[in-house]
Amino acid sequence: MSQKIHDIHPHVISTDDTRFPRSPLGGTQSDWSKEHQVTVEDMVKAMDEAGIASSALVQSATCYGYNNSYVAHAVERYPDRFTGVGTIDVLQGDAVETMKGWIARGISGLRLYTGGSKLEFDFSWLNDPKSFPVWEYAEKNGVSMCIQARAPAFPIVTEMARRFPGARIIIDHLARMDTTDGPPYANAEPLFALAEFSNIYLKVTPRSFDLANSGKASPETFFAKLVSKFGANRIAFGSNYPASSGSLKEIVERAKDNLKSLSQEDRDWILGRTAETLYPKLA
């Protein structure tokens, strides 16, 4: 049986700015979302070419802010191909009701966008008690929480992992940890230390492949260590398409190449099966 591939980090951008107006967090739209407008229809075609069964579309907060309408539209139009990962203001008093509204439209995960692109990073609000009702709802209802984190945020991330042990927490892009020192990857030890928390998962993306091919690092040694720490069943593939360069098919082929030294079972988990744990609808 051929390997089943899911993608937990692609983005879609509409060409209809009237129906889906742009309102980026921070007020300035990201360059990639201006330059690469991959519509829902484009994404389905790209997925077919790349051999991707289904995807968890991630809200482009640097284009649409907290308005997840286009992601919801995609899920409504292709319910057999997509689920959605939305972004909301978790500090608002009505955040749980807002989340429920998006869940009713096909959103099954949340992304806590802390910065990047045109927005300065701010991790200080991640453990604000105002957000706890959202975390409690996510924990009870299987809503995965994806965090755009960096190493300085890890103490807060682990605090939330302890406070909400039933919540699945996903770290985007391996937090872009420095791997240039090579084996045993002492610079990335803060990332490996997160493995202690069984509810923390990792997302490997083209940025992760860049890291694994930088300095003294290699895909063979880096991904072997990552799997030895977390287990392949807590690591999932995300394309970051079209924010990352290359076609979706090229990104998938790059993922396969970077992971080729792992066992077939480990590759199956990272490229498909872990996604089904994080977003059961994809199964």
Query: Domain locations in the chain?
Result: 5-159+236-282
pLDDT band at 113 (very low <50, low <70, confident <90, very high): confident
What is the rounded CA–CA span in Å between residue 145 and residue 169? 5
Fold of 5-159+236-282: TIM Barrel (3.20.20)
The letter for the amino acid at 5 is I
Dihedral angle of Cα 226, 230, 233, 237, to the nearest 10 degrees: -40
Rounded average pLDDT over 263-272 = 98
* pLDDT value of residue 1: 42
CB 203 within 8 A of CB 170: yes
Higher pLDDT, 133 or 27: 133
Is pLDDT at 119 greater than 80 in this prediction?
no
pLDDT band at 116 (very low <50, low <70, confident <90, very high): low
Provide the CA 195 distance to its chain's centre, in angstroms: 17
Residue with tokens 């084996």: 183
What is the rounded CA–CA span in Å between residue 40 and residue 16? 12
* pLDDT value of residue 259: 98
- pLDDT (tens digit, 9 = 90+) per residue, 124-173? 899 999 999 999 999 999 999 999 999 999 999 999 999 999 999 999 99
Rounded average pLDDT over 108-135 = 87
Rounded average pLDDT over 82-95 = 97
The dihedral region occupied by 167, where left means phi > 0, alpha psi between -120 and 50, and beta the remainder, is: beta
Q: Does the bond joining 242 to the residue before it have cis omega, within 30 degrees of 0?
A: yes
| pLDDT over 70, % of the chain | 98
